[in-house]
Amino acid sequence: MSEILTFDVLGRAGAEVLAGQDSLGRPVRWVHSSEIYEIGPLLSGGELLLTTGLGLAGADAGACRHYVRELDERGVTGVAVELGRSLPDMPYAILDESRRRGLPLVALRRVVPFIRITEAVNTAIVTRTLGELPYRPDGAAAVLADMEAGTALSQQEVTARLRTLGFRPERSHRLIGVAGHAAEPAAAAAALDRAADRLGGSLLRAAAPGAVTALLAVPGPPAGDPVSTARTAVGEASAGGGEGLTFALGPAVRPDGGWRRWGETLREARATLRLALTVPLPESGPATARGGTLVTTSRALALERQLAGDGLTAAARDRLAALVDRTLGPLLGWEAAHPSDLVHTLEVHLRNGCSPTRTAALLHVGRQSLYQRLDRIESLLGLPVADPEAHGELLLAACAHRLLRATE
């Protein structure tokens, strides 16, 4: 970990070690960012965890100590906390508990998007650990790449190539594109193999350093939801089988829909994976998380994909910023002057059907505290959050705000 602290990107973030100086020799297996308070059980050990402390804002000393204890017991290498937005200063309970346990605790004094840190460090980790991994495109990798790229092919050629590789889905199956990210692609590939076995379907996959691409054939009755079925199977098959795995699933398409439709589900899976790796997901159940694995779908991140497109250009950012200012300006103005989290609360509430019980549970606050936040939101916006006519614009603006913050 001491080597990572010398990276330029950590220097730009004003990294300062506050605790665990004697443990800086611990190796970092992967860099992960999360704002979830109960992230500990989802980690596998060896991670450097980045957080703004959003999940800890307002937590009491006991909760802060529990957070550190759980991370330490999971074998996390260290924790880096960005100070200023959610936590103006490092809570004493976190600092003291980290010192007691010898857990490296790093304060990030300046704002640097976490994607910049994870890209720099994880790229270095993958280059070092997988530099000797032999890899050459095989038949599966080539045909998957051709379909995803939309290369001009005939249906007969694609069908023949797939049959040669043993991939022969039945007419009743539904095909789902899968894109995965892992420090060890063999673990991701093995997880997909187990998922296909669980489903009783077939799988065409290709692994490369840090990534895996696949076309999964899911059997089942036409009335079922193949994407939800596949998401559950991949999550269950990944638990305990790998570390730090992230999967994204595209929409389900028919085998007789033609190779161009198969390429679409592969492309949507890839676009969804990019978002899952760079943008913090809301606490709305858009993903299945088990044992260090995250599985999400293009459907769950539909808003994010439509807003981000192929990338946030300057013009797109200006358009989204105008939407955010017009729709959420009063809330952001209040947050600038008071320690609060109104926009995040609003998004979680809307994504969960305005259910106070579920929203309070996901935000780790009492129902009375939630009602106070909602009253404040309605007072500032001048409209009830339960108004169905306002849901679309409010949710769109809240999602845009999260995207802009993550990519600033």
Q: pLDDT tens for residues 13-50?
A: 999 999 999 999 999 888 888 888 888 887 878 889 99
Which pLDDT band, with edges at 50, 70 and 90, does 223 fall under? low
pTM of structure: 0.61
What are the residues whose beta carbons fall under 8 Å from the beta carbon of 87, sequence distance 6 or more? 52, 53, 56, 57, 81
What are the residues whose beta carbons fall under 8 Å from the beta carbon of 389, sequence distance 6 or more? none
> How far is residue 285's CA from residue 327's CA, in Å, rounded to a whole number?
24
Give me the pLDDT at residue 159, please. Answer: 83
**pLDDT above 60 for 290:** no
CATH of domain 4-130: 3.40.1390.20
Ranges 106-120, 202-216, 305-319, 366-380, most confident: 366-380
CA 376: distance to chain centroid? 29
DSSP codes of every residue in 244-293: S-EEEEEEEE-GGG-HHHHHHHHHHHHHHHHHHHHSPPPSSS-EEEETTE
> How far is residue 241's CA from residue 358's CA, in Å, rounded to a whole number?
30
As a three-state string, the secondary structure of 61-102 is: HHHHHHHHHHHHHCCCCEEEEECCCCCCCCCHHHHHHHHHHC
- Asked, colleague to colleague, whether 4-130 and 312-406 share their fold, the answer is no
Per domain, the residue ranges of the chain are 4-130, 139-301, 312-406
CATH 1.10.3470.10 fits 312-406, yes or no: no
Cβ 271 vs Cβ 218: under 8 Å: no
The burial class, CB within 10 Å (0-12 / 13-18 / 19+), for 223 is exposed
